[in-house]
Amino acid sequence: MNTRHWSRRDFLATAVGTAAALGSISAREGESRKVLMIAGTPSHGPGDHEFNAGTTLLKKCLDRAGISGLTTVLQLNGWPRDEAVFDGVHAIFLYCDGGGGHPFIQKNRLSFIGELMKQGVGLMCAHFAVEVPKDRGGAEFKEWIGGYYEHQYSVNPIWVPKFEQFSDHPICRGVEPFAIRDEWYFNMRWREGMAGVVPILTAKPSDAVRDGPYVYPRGPYRHIQEAKGRAEAVMWAVERADGGRGVGFTGGHFHANWGDPNFRKVVLNALLWISKIDVPRDGVVSSVSPKDLKENLDPKGR
């Protein structure tokens, strides 16, 4: 993987060039923006992959923040039965299981989503939703969000990255240094040369993390070990040629992590950004109580 270190000058040059090519990249004043938030079906054990509870919580945070012009629509338990919910959508958030069961690669949905992308609809995929098979969705995900998790090329260890420095990208507004244990994927299959990909959260995995075990398969992989000392992007953003925006976020395995203000803020900021709503100077302000974290959990037993 080629990792580029973005300076303020790099980012501004990219943003100006994109704006010149596409026209205004922000929502017009007073324009309403519709975000469809899709949560996957129940998965894993209690407290892990709580897609329904996590997506509901993020929606609640956005609604409480009172963001002008933002309309959030919640879709629980997988792909909508009525695809009319996509009508008029400006951005899609997907938090669900991926791989061979990824909802976007079933039936004719790659074509369906592809048509929305051509219209400039934003897309953010979180955690397992960044993984698609190489030959079914890989090329599309590189175009739509800049990269994807490729089985046995990317890795999924549970580790504690330290996020200490941030670019001046709008998604980073108000985010302070933090470290948090999660199943942070890295070594994505990027566009060639990471073209147009802006790292949002980066950290250096320790040698022990690279040596494994990974969650599945346990590894280790030689190509991961040989990259010791390299910083890895575990969240990233792109502005597409079609005018849309894409974000990949690899955290989100443990539901309790939504209680961390910085973990939560960087995702909430990203949801505004893919919707082309200006991110506030200090980012999206939100609060989550222990009670909030216990609501809407899937009935998984013990």
pLDDT in tens, 34-69: 999 999 999 999 999 999 999 999 999 999 999 999
Lowest mean pLDDT among 15-29, 34-48, 101-115, 185-199: 15-29
- For 198, the enclosing helix (H) or strand (E) is strand 198-203
pLDDT confidence tier of residue 301, bands split at 50, 70 and 90: confident
202: in domain: yes
Q: State the pLDDT at residue 161.
A: 98
The sign of the dihedral angle between the CA atoms of 5, 6, 9, 15 is positive
Residue 242: domain span: 8-23+31-294
- 23 SS3 class: coil
Q: What CATH number is associated with residue 213?
A: 3.40.50.880
Task: Give the amino acid at 245.
Answer: R
The number of distinct structural domains making up the chain is 1
CA angle 31, 37, 41 (to 5 degrees): 170
pTM higher than the cut 0.75? yes
CA neighbor of 35 nearest in space, from 117, 123, 95, 127? 123
299: in domain: no
Average pLDDT over residues 229-233: 98
228: in domain: yes
pLDDT confidence tier of residue 212, bands split at 50, 70 and 90: very high
Residues 96-127: pLDDT tens digits?
999 999 999 999 999 999 999 999 999 999 99
301: in domain: no
300: in domain: no
CA neighbor of 167 nearest in space, from 13, 24, 17? 13
- For 270, the enclosing helix (H) or strand (E) is helix 261-274
1: in domain: no
Distance CA 138, CA 66 (A): 36
Lowest mean pLDDT among 24-28, 104-108, 174-178, 264-268: 24-28
36: in domain: yes
3: in domain: no
- Helix ranges (H only) for 119-198 are 138-145
